[in-house]
A and B are shown apart, each in its own frame.
Chain A
Amino acid sequence: GQQVMQIPQYQHVQEGEDFTTYCNSSTTLSNIQWYKQRPGGHPVFLIQLVKSGEVKKQKRLTFQFGEAKKNSSLHITATQTTDVGTYFCAGPSTGNQFYFGTGTSLTVIP
């Protein structure tokens, strides 16, 4: 099945520092989605990237899709305590179901 790996698994940052999580696929992806899951909550859809080299921004969050469409990244500038949670990338299988990466758990220290 689809393999989507994420690094790092855990990240602790001081409030105000930047944070980046990386997603890598063993195969070319037609698109990639990002989700955020707050502690005790459920995954919430953030964004989808479709085009090679695409970059999208949502306030302090910047999402990138690699040129080869095999990797993606999420960068948060100047983290805040509200950014705490686990960030997942998800890539579609041949049947269009999305397989989720292992997730990166972000802790923001005030």
Chain B
Amino acid sequence: DSGVTQTPKHLITATGQRVTLRCSPRSGDLSVYWYQQSLDQGLQFLIQYYNGEERAKGNILERFSAQQFPDLHSELNLSSLELGDSALYFCASSRDNRAIRSGYTFGSGTRLTVV
């Protein structure tokens, strides 16, 4: 157990639908990062939050959005889902904004299947 909790572990949904993925960071970590992992794209950085504020955006589609709540948990919202959105979605956390000393701590991921 890494200390980063992601729910649900698996999600199957139809095209056009909307889903919400949830992440609770490791205790004491203020930064949350979302990554998408698909077979042909590797680990793609989506978005980062630090202490409730958005800090950076990567290759995140406009159909996707995220937020970090006062208790530091984060949610990733995926809407108008397409078949190509099927992937593993990882949440990671770090103590500070830079993850310099100890890197990221990843959760076990949510496997999203769009049918």
Contacts and interface: CB of A to CB of B under 8 A. Distances in A.
Contacts of B56: 93, 95-97
B24 to A, nearest CB: 15
A43 B106 contact: yes
A87 to B, nearest CB: 12
Interface in B49-67: 55-56, 58-59
Given A42-B2, A43-B90, A97 B102 contact: no
B101 A48 contact: yes
Given A42-B106, A44-B106, A45-B105, A97 B33 contact: yes
Given A35-B103, A42-B90, A48-B100, A99 B45 contact: yes
B9 to A, nearest CB: 11
Taking residues whose C-beta sits less than 8 angstroms from the other chain, chain B's interface range is: 20 to 34
B58 A42 contact: no
Interface in A56-110: 88, 92-93, 95-103
Interface in B36-78: 42-43, 45, 48, 55-56, 58-59
Contacts of A101: 42
Taking residues whose C-beta sits less than 8 angstroms from the other chain, chain A's interface range is: 20 to 34
Contacts of A99: 45, 58
A39 interface: no
Nearest to A6: B42
B42 A45 contact: no
A42 B111 CA distance: 12
Nearest to B105: A45
Interface of B: 2, 33, 35, 42-43, 45, 48, 55-56, 58-59, 90, 92, 97-109
20 contacts: A1-B59, A33-B99, A35-B104, A42-B90, A42-B107, A42-B108, A43-B104, A43-B106, A45-B105, A92-B98, A93-B56, A95-B55, A96-B97, A96-B99, A97-B48, A97-B56, A98-B104, A99-B58, A101-B42, A103-B42
